[in-house]
Chain A
Amino acid sequence: MPSKLVEKTFRMENLPHIWCPGCGHGILMRDVAQAIENCNLDPEKVVIVSGIGCSSRAAGYMNFNTLHTAHGRAIAFATGIKMANPELTVIVITGDGDCTAIGGNHLIHACRRNIDITVVVFNNNIYGMTGGQYSPTTPTGEKGTTAPYGNIDNVFDITGLAQAAGATYTARGTAYHATQTIKLIENGIKNKGFSLIEGVSVCPTYYGRKNKKGSVVKMMNWQKDNAIDVKKAANMDEKELKGKLIIGEFYNNPSTTGEYTERYDEIIKKLGGDK
């Protein structure tokens, strides 16, 4: 029996979803739905925008206004939506490749504008839809079908990138830590400005198999055993943090210069364009 949340916030006729058994994306998708529910938003006024890849299939299952766009471009489409109708709550669901490789430019500039969009990155450390190629978050040394001898690229720290570019809210959760992740997404939605929440997923089919990470249960247990809350991590040294995954709210500081659509509205008012 599906839960009341699933019945209310998902398009039941389009389920089951296409993700592999054990994929972490289903948990993260439910986290997004629960966070929207917790914010008490009118579903008619919620728009979910996604790009291309495993993560981006989430939009189609969710019972809101959903726009499944082109690879890497979700944030750019979302910018037009939010600008054209700032009343709408705009949430982007994207992946590590979609958001930080092909869509990296849109990400950093949306951060810079501090436009009120909440981006949730389902990070599975791999290009899953195309069969396991290394992504900007595949750890150095690990394998993908296009890194058969080990990945020599350095990885992106997605939340650090967003913060440096001007996002006013950044956080990281995991598929395992659902309760915490829901709260992080909720706080991101409530932030009047650009928010980015990285949801660390698990991809047992490609990333896990290629890198001998063991069963889904083992991969989820890794998240449970190795995630350290950012507050606790503050009191740990580099040695203690080696190999750990820091989660929690990293940055929550409203911009001193304000939110983008509000700033544009000031221009319109000044010119009398609102009359």
Chain B
Amino acid sequence: MADRFALLQGNEACVEGAITAGMRFYSGYPITPSTEIAEGSAVRLPQVGGKFVQMEDEIGGIAAAIGASVVGVKSMTATSGPGFSLKQENIGYAAIAEIPVVVVDVQRSGPSTGLPTSPSQGDVMQARWGTHGDHPVIAISPCSVQDTYYQTIRCFNLAEKYRTPVILLMDEIVGHMREGIELVPEEELPEEFKIVNRDNNMVDGKPYACAKGEYVPHQPPFGTGTRYNITGLYSNEYGFPTNDNDIANAKATRLMEKIEKNLDDILDYEEENLDDATVAIVCYGGTTRAVMEAVAQLRNQGVKAGMFRPVTVWPFPEQRLKEIAKKVKTVLVVEHNYGQLVEEVEKVVKGAAKVEFLGKWDGTTITPAQIINKVKEVSKNAK
């Protein structure tokens, strides 16, 4: 058993967070830099009566995790770059069939095999639109080892509550960074991380029906007395496939609305020094620590910089960023890629402030000094 205070890396904290959240099944395939999540799950799960299975490939990894969730067991799979690509089809399956599952992607550098041990945030758009077709998705990006512990719990809670795949969008920086953390036990968790278990009381006796004004069905686990069908086809309230365009439209729309209508609950972001800021630095995940340091140093030098960090990356916290953009001159997006989330930021800011970009895609990390220099440069441009 893990001690309450420990020196862990992000990947290990993810396993501990998952166990606290109630994960009792893990299936996956080894891949750098996420392998420690599989290794940790293999050690920890049987200790608490859970199961671990190393599947034959990445696709099997997510498929078995979804299967375990169908019988009511909280489940997770973890991967990185190439494996995240391979899992995409079944992320869509879990989305349309409305099966809770947590998918961890510890991002690494480059397409294909790229730089397997180097940091990157090149999967942020894939996390949103990786699987085919319109679909709902929630993606959460932790910025430290302690944050990984909490955000993993939050991923399970959101998956259970909204019956949808939730992506824990880590990166190599956070995954392999070691920090002292506190493994807060279930009963002492802060209110926002209190454990959520799915509601299995069917509405109107139909597995895929939703209560009036609600968007999430309450299908019970297989083997508990209600026999019904689950499919990746558009289906009716009994889970039986249909070609009826009205039924398909109702289901497709509801899937998107269950996220859109619950933004207050799903969205989370962190802000620092934004009140009087002229430059708002947008960052997420492992980039955050460098930005925090840069903001502190810039403030010491009298530069009015602040930070806006979406914790929930998808859905994107549009409304809040719009408000911030109205008050600053410049929005600087700092991310470890060739420019991905910056496009979403431009779409949201819509000219209310000047959008600038600082990226890195060579497998090295962005330093506070680079951010400071960039802020000074864009501040001049804004004058």
Question: Which A residues have a C-beta under 8 Å from some C-beta of B?
Answer: 11, 14, 43-45, 47, 49, 59-60, 63-70, 73, 76-81, 83-85, 87-88, 105-106, 108-109, 264, 267-268, 271-274
In the bound assembly, the distance between CA atoms of A167 and B228 in angstroms comes to 29
Q: Is the CB of A73 within 8 A of B90?
A: yes
Q: Is the CB of B71 within 8 A of A69?
A: no
In the bound assembly, the distance between CA atoms of A16 and B47 in angstroms comes to 49
Q: B59 in the interface, Cβ–Cβ < 8 Å?
A: yes
Q: Is the CB of B75 within 8 A of A80?
A: yes
Q: Is the CB of B60 within 8 A of A64?
A: no
List of 5 A-B pairs having minimum Cβ-Cβ separation, nearest first: A80-B67, A80-B64, A76-B63, A84-B68, A109-B56
* Shortest Cβ gap from B32 to chain A (Å): 21
Q: B46 in the interface, Cβ–Cβ < 8 Å?
A: yes
Contact code string B277-288 (vs A, CB < 8 Å = 1, else 0): 000000000000
Q: B227 in the interface, Cβ–Cβ < 8 Å?
A: yes
Q: Is the CB of A106 within 8 A of B56?
A: yes
In the bound assembly, the distance between CA atoms of A83 and B233 in angstroms comes to 25
Q: B49 in the interface, Cβ–Cβ < 8 Å?
A: yes
Q: Is the CB of A67 within 8 A of B233?
A: no
In the bound assembly, the distance between CA atoms of A274 and B46 in angstroms comes to 8
* Shortest Cβ gap from A74 to chain B (Å): 9
Say whether chain B's binding surface is mostly helix, strand, loop, or mixed: mixed
Q: Is the CB of A66 within 8 A of B25?
A: no
Which residue on chain A has the smallest CB distance to residue B60? A76
In the bound assembly, the distance between CA atoms of A267 and B75 in angstroms comes to 19
Q: Tell me which of A43, A77, A79, A268 has the highest count of chain B C-beta atoms within 10 A of its own C-beta.
A: A77
8 A-B pairs whose Cβ atoms sit less than 8 Å apart in the complex: A67-B229, A73-B60, A79-B27, A79-B60, A79-B63, A80-B70, A81-B222, A84-B24
Q: B351 in the interface, Cβ–Cβ < 8 Å?
A: no
Interface bracket on B? 35 or more
Q: Tell me which of A60, A80, A267 has the highest count of chain B C-beta atoms within 10 A of its own C-beta.
A: A80
Q: Is the CB of B66 within 8 A of A80?
A: yes
Q: B253 in the interface, Cβ–Cβ < 8 Å?
A: no
On whether A14 and B240 interact (CB within 8 A), knowing A76-B59, A83-B51, A273-B50, the answer reads yes
Q: Is the CB of B63 within 8 A of A105?
A: no
Q: Is the CB of B51 within 8 A of A264?
A: yes
Interface positions, chain B 225-239, Cβ under 8 Å from A, are 225, 227-233
Please, which residues of chain B bring their CB within 8 A of the CB of A63? Answer: 227
Please, which residues of chain A bring their CB within 8 A of the CB of B48? Answer: 273
Q: Is the CB of B241 within 8 A of A70?
A: no
* Shortest Cβ gap from A152 to chain B (Å): 28
On whether A65 and B223 interact (CB within 8 A), knowing A14-B240, A60-B240, the answer reads yes
* Shortest Cβ gap from A57 to chain B (Å): 8
Contact code string B51-90 (vs A, CB < 8 Å = 1, else 0): 1010111011001111111111101000000000000011
Q: Is the CB of B71 within 8 A of A88?
A: yes
Of B27, B55, B69, B228, which is within 8 A of A65 by CB?
B228
In the bound assembly, the distance between CA atoms of A251 and B129 in angstroms comes to 46
